[in-house]
Structure formats: C-alpha cells, structure tokens
Chains A and B, each alone.
Chain A
C-alpha cells in the first residue's frame, strides 16, 4: 500500500497577472519531488473555525524547475478558492498543497511519446496543463512537430500570449494557432470562430493520424475537438482529454 500524498506548506513567492482574470502564482516547495507535465495539485484553504475547502489546479510550470511550481488560476465568478487567491493571497503567504496527482493526462519529453507529433487543443485556462508540456518540451530541446490550437474569447484574454509567441518563434517545430470567438482586433490574422471540424483539420494538417493529442478546456470545446480528431482517423487511445466547466444543461 502506498503512503498517502502528504499535505505540504508552500510559500507564495511571486504573483503575475496573465490576463485581467487570470494570474500565475509561484509556490516555493523546497522538497518537491517533481512532477510530470500535465499533472495537477490539490490546494486546501482552512479558516480559523476549521472550515476548509479544497480545489484541484493544473501545474503550469515544467518539471525542470526545481523547488517550486507555478499555478495559473482563472478567477471564477463567486469562486471560493480562486477569489481568495486573486483578492487576498499575497507574496509571503503560505498555503497547503498536495501532489502531484494524475498519471494519464501527462506528456514526457523523454518517454516513448517524445518523438511523436504533438497536437494540443486548449480552451481558455484549459491551456495551463498544455503550457506545462510546451515549457517542458522547450526546456528539453525537443524538436518533434507540435501544434497548439488555442481558443480564447478576446485577444486580451489569451493566457500566456507573449510567452506562446516567443515559444513559436524559437524555430523548434512548434506552431501556435489562435482563434478568438467573441471579438477580433483590427488586422487579426488568426481564426475568429469556435473550433470546428474544418479548423481542427487545418491545424492538424500534416501531423496527421500519427499525432498524439491532448485537449483541455470547457466540455463543449473538448467534445468538438475530440470528435473531430476521431473522424479524422486519430485512434481514440491517442486522444487524451481533460474537461472543466458546466455542460450548459
């Protein structure tokens, strides 16, 4: 029997705005044993009277960063934990963390998947675990053909926009395609609609059915993207998904 994954105290060492509603938090964890790109952690907040809440957040940072992890958290309306993180938590505060958790929605730059083309599809803050994969890929110097299709509502809501631009200009085989579903700025060169079959086919392009795919975002986006990939001939076991958000029903 494995021993439990222990709760640890992490210290917030940096807070960085990514968009008006998304912030990244650097958590110092000196004895962190490492994680795999795509894994998450649980956070626990406890009030004076013992009332406590837990939430899971994907790790945004690459495993190569020693002694700390970064979480990128969207402020959810009325969110008990995300609201606290955005409005109250400050550098120097300590917070309870346990993990890493999850062993399926993961991608290792050194494993058997490393040589395969990588096709990532993200919706909004669903980009977070995929960013861990892209940072991991970049840090390890991998050059496997990789494409990210990233759906956001507006250009100012694109999480990691500058960093994604920089990664895509590194010339290491990464291409990033954006779509903006609500409004597009003048001169916008990317897509301007919700993800559909045609968009998936165009961005997947030459990666073809040899690609390994990770999809993370709201349920409706994940359903569309995964179903498209199945229709394009990608075997179901090459498509890994992570979903969040209401179903709308």
Chain B
C-alpha cells in the first residue's frame, strides 16, 4: 500500500542528533533531505574508466554558438583557474562537505564563444559516451566549473580525471566525469542517467532523484 501519513519505523532511533549553532548543526543544515554525510569520496561509474592520453585530450564548446572553440589540454590548463570549495550530494545518498577542487568556471569558458539566442540547454559529453543535460541557466554565474584537481592533487581517473564537470547544486551524476565538451541546443535531450529513470533536473534540495519526483 502507498504510504500516506508519516510512518514511524518500529525501534528506529538513529544516530544522536546535534542541534543549535556550531559546526555539527551547520553540517546538518547543509545535508539535503534523504542524504547522509560521508568522509569518503565514493566512486560510482556505469562502465570502465576511460584513459585518454593528455596529448589526445581536448575540450570543445559547440552547437548553437557563433564559432565553436576547442582547447588542447595545455591551452585548457592555461585558462584562468580558481579554487572551489563546495558540498557535493550523490543520488546514491552520500553527501560530502567542503570538497576542494581547482578548475575553470563555465562562465570563463563561455567568454570564448557567443551563444545564439536560441541556445537553451547544455548537453555535456564525456569519454565513454556518457552524456548529461542541463538548462544553460543551471551552469552560469559560478554554478558550474570544469575541475582537474581535487584536494590539491590531479583528479584521479576513477573520479573523472583528467577533468570533470562539477555542478554542486545538482546530484553528482550531472557532474560528468571525463568531460570533453558541451554542445548547446535549443531543445532538451535527456542524458545517460536521465534516460534510465533518473530525474531530468536533479535538484538535491528538492530530492529530485528519480523521474517523477
């Protein structure tokens, strides 16, 4: 039977709750609904880890832009980078606070192209054929970056290295590992997990985990 009112699980008390100001309470307020905090950095991937040599790596912006642009690895690393400290939530329920990355803002990338007025969605492409879709409004104004360092070290392949997109305000599957480019389009196209039952937008604060949530 579907659950209507709040159901209480017999005998479940859970971990001790921390209340009020200070670090533990702050951590609780930064944990989206249904998530738990982890100190690990779990790995989740649908297939083998790609290993693209850096001399064959490139990053492109294409689609509804006046003039597509492609960067080599060296050119990309020479773009103005900054450090980012963000909280990350994975749809598999873990949340990790204060993750430290280094990379380039999508805003900075977009300074190199002129988007056509009809461009409304970003289709993110990655090695291995992975894709994910985002409205352009979800990756502008400091909301998304392409990272090549995590915690002061080059980003490990199993975590998406050499470079991964990071979109902290969405569940982590939107932060495409092994990212290679963004195609701008006028109509939305569901990406990989978005085609396998996961939510099209994936806002962790609205608990948009699965299609229909």
Q: Which residues of A contact B (CB under 8 A)?
A: 1-9, 31, 42, 44-56, 80, 84, 88-89, 93-96, 101-105, 219, 222-223, 226-227, 229-230, 236-237, 239-247, 249
Contact = CB atoms under 8 A, between A and B. Distances in A.
B172 to A, nearest CB: 13
B111 interface: no
Contact of A4 (B34, B192, B210): B210
Nearest to B34: A54
Contact of B210 (A101, A219, A246): A101
Contacts of A222: 43, 45
A232 to B, nearest CB: 11
Contact of A244 (B7, B42, B48): B42
B119 to A, nearest CB: 24
B1 A88 contact: no
B7 A96 contact: yes
Interface residues of B, number: 45
A55 B73 CA distance: 39
B36 A80 contact: yes
Interface in B1-31: 1-3, 6-15, 17
Given A54-B93, A88-B12, A89-B11, A6 B44 contact: no
A88 B11 contact: yes
Contacts of A8: 1-3
A247 B42 contact: yes
Given A2-B211, A241-B47, A9 B1 contact: yes
Interface in B108-163: 128-129, 156, 158-159
Nearest to A231: B48
Interface of A is mostly: mixed
Contacts of A6: 2-3
Contacts of A96: 3, 7, 9
Contacts of B50: 236
A8 B13 CA distance: 20
B3 A9 contact: yes
B8 A249 contact: no
A96 B43 CA distance: 27
A223 B197 contact: no
Contacts of A50: 6
Interface in B24-62: 34-36, 40-50
State the 6 A-B residue pairs at the shortest beta-carbon distance, nearest first.
Answer: A103-B196, A2-B212, A226-B48, A246-B40, A4-B212, A7-B3
Contacts of B49: 223, 226-227
Contacts of B42: 219, 243-247
B34 A46 contact: no
A50 to B, nearest CB: 7
A4 B213 contact: yes
Contact of A47 (B14, B35, B195, B210): B14
B85 interface: no
Nearest to B35: A54
Given A219-B43, A245-B42, A51 B8 contact: no
Contact of B156 (A227, A242, A245, A249): A249
B92 interface: yes
A42 B10 CA distance: 18
Nearest to A245: B42
Contacts of B197: 101-103
A239 B212 contact: no
Most buried by A among B12, B13, B129, B193: B12
